[in-house]
Chain A
């Protein structure tokens, strides 16, 4: 168990059954008064923010979260299945929980999956992933419209802006932190 003295930014605790991350913390104590511990916490499942003030004597259950290396197996409807390559354990994540990560999920992609008990609540991807362009318009030579980018669809169905010289079938590098085109993989 944690006490109020353990509260600090980055601490993970369980509140009403959900894991929360302390994102802001301050200790407040008016002269001759009782100490107050002010926190702002983020629900690690749905991302909602919560302000809570505690007093000394209160205690918290630590949220035991585990990050495990897993591989993306397949998608079925809104459900994405991952597998631990060592134990062959499988977990399912919903599209909503994945957020933007769904744009880069190609079979066999390795990712760090955050587990709260049995439940997968988050994912962290490699900073860069390689994806093949499945559809983009041909670059017309002599195009003077001044556009320095055009839309392209990659194999996961994700659409992003790429430079005009990128052609269908090419492998490109995407920065998963920004969702933007990074460079072309030279064949």
Chain B
């Protein structure tokens, strides 16, 4: 029943807040309506007419400016909008949790993920302590595997990730071969070290310039969170935004404005790491339901 899911949703959000408060994080609220998001190749913002401002696709721009201003541990739960994204795991308006840590890298975030999921399971599903997806259970207290993207493509898809990227079948292999294979693990799984072209805002690995310090958290093959060591080189960031706009332009997509004040501030951002986690999907896993429709009060179609 939906009312059960809504109670569980409220419980999950409370648990998430408690988790971060207990660890000394500052909860922040940044504006939802902004002049520019970080331009990305495959993310389309929702524009707010008649002004040219956009609803946030992620709170990252403002949260990183708070890191520049000296805040070291911050989190936010907010709504985000991405145009034309609707499916059994997507809503155009959805709820995102993001947290950022100054002076840490993506390894610390992976540990945060383990502790957060264990915390949520303990508070919200004490009977089983397990998340459920497609009727299978996933125990966050079991050992989490950390698998590099390169290894995942070789091991589960018997193919090379670079070749898939150049052939344009990366998304197909990832969603139809790799993600289903991750559901065979009894615990959540982390895929890490993505090809740098798939990480517009992440830092490059010092020992391998082709890879970025980015990871994705999967539970039962469902993508739950995306985190990385933040790029804090304004020149490099500007170049990557321009590249994203060139790709958009070639694909017939609109060219997006650049977030100027963010780029200006980026030079003063300490080494940091940040991550975005889909709250709706976390509730889906907690409630054991297959559709995102089942964990929100209203879908766009209900309105």
- Please give the residue numbers on chain A whose beta carbons come within 8 Å of chain B beta carbons, in ascending order: 5, 26-36, 53, 56-57
* B87/A27 in contact, CB under 8 A: yes
User: What is the total number of residues of chain B having a CB less than 8 Å from a CB of chain A?
Assistant: 25
Chain B nearest CB, measured from A87 CB (Å):
38
11 A–B pairs (Cβ distance < 8 Å), ordered by A: A5-B84, A27-B85, A29-B171, A30-B179, A31-B216, A31-B226, A32-B200, A33-B42, A33-B198, A34-B42, A35-B84
Residues of A within 8 A of B175 (CB): 28, 30, 36
Determine if B303 is an interface residue (Cβ-Cβ < 8 Å): no
Asked if A53 meets B88 with Cβ closer than 8 Å, knowing A33-B198, A35-B42, the reply is: no
Residues of B participating in the A interface, judged by any CB pair closer than 8 Å: 40-42, 84-90, 170-172, 174-175, 179, 194, 198-200, 216, 223, 226, 251-252
Q: What A residues does B85 contact at CB under 8 A?
A: 27, 29, 35
- In the complex, the 10 A-B pairs of residues with the closest C-beta atoms, listed nearest first: A27-B87, A31-B226, A33-B171, A26-B87, A30-B174, A28-B175, A34-B42, A32-B198, A34-B171, A5-B84
Quote the shortest CB–CB distance from B201 to chain A (angstroms): 9
Write the nearest CB–CB distance from A54 to chain B, whole angstroms: 11
User: How near does chain B come to A130, taking the closest CB pair, in angstroms?
Assistant: 41
A31 to B42, CA, bound (A): 9
Residues in B neighbouring A29, C-beta threshold 8 A: 42, 85, 87, 90, 171
DSSP class of A's interface residues: helix, strand, loop or mixed?
loop
Query: Given the complex, which residues of A lie within 8 Å of B171, measured CB to CB?
Result: 28-30, 33-34, 36
Asked if residues B252 and A36 are in contact (CB atoms below 8 Å), the reply is no
- Given the complex, which residues of B lie within 8 Å of A33, measured CB to CB? 42, 170-171, 174, 198
The smallest beta-carbon distance between A41 and chain B, in angstroms, is: 17
CA distance A71 to B87 in the complex (A): 42
Which residues of the other chain, A, contact B223 by a CB distance below 8 angstroms? 30-31
A34: chain B residues at CB < 8 Å are 41-42, 171
- In addition to A27-B85, A29-B85, 10 A-B residue pairs with Cβ atoms within 8 Å of each other are A27-B87, A29-B42, A30-B174, A30-B179, A32-B41, A32-B198, A32-B200, A33-B174, A34-B41, A57-B251
Assuming the contacts A27-B90, A57-B251, asked whether A32 and B40 have C-beta atoms less than 8 A apart, the reply is yes
Instruction: State whether A27 touches B86 (Cβ < 8 A).
Output: yes
CA distance A33 to B85 in the complex (A): 13
* In the complex, chain B residues whose CB is within 8 Å of the CB of A57: 251-252
Task: Please give, as numbers and ranges, the residues of chain B lying within 8 Å of A32 by CB-CB distance.
Answer: 40-42, 194, 198-200, 226
Q: How far is the CA of A28 from the CA of B179 in the complex (A)?
A: 11
Return chain B residues, CB-CB under 8 Å to A27. 85-90
Contact A53 B198 (CB under 8 A): no
How close is B42's CB to chain A, nearest CB, in angstroms?
Answer: 5
Contact A53 B42 (CB under 8 A): no
* A56, B87: Cα distance in complex, Å: 14
Residues of B within 8 A of A35 (CB): 42, 84-85
CA distance A30 to B90 in the complex (A): 11
Distance between Cα atoms of A35 and B41 in the complex (Å): 11
How far apart are B39's CB and chain A's nearest CB, in angstroms?
13
Q: How far is the CA of A172 from the CA of B171 in the complex (A)?
A: 58
Contact A28 B87 (CB under 8 A): yes
Residues of B within 8 Å of A26, CB to CB, are: 87-88
User: A5–B82 Cα gap in the complex (Å)?
Assistant: 13
Residue of A nearest to B194 (CB): A32
Give the chain A neighbours of B174 by CB distance below 8 A: 30, 33
Chain A residues with Cβ below 8 Å from B198 are: 32-33
User: How far apart are the CA atoms of A5 and B84 in the complex, in Å?
Assistant: 7
Nearest chain-A residue to B198 (Cβ)?
Answer: A32
| B41: chain A residues within 8 A (beta carbon) | 32, 34
B109 vs chain A, min Cβ distance (A): 14
Which single residue of chain A is at the shortest CB-CB distance from B43? A32
Residue pair B172, A36 in contact (C-beta under 8 Å): yes
CA distance A35 to B223 in the complex (A): 14
Q: How far is the CA of A115 from the CA of B235 in the complex (A)?
A: 61
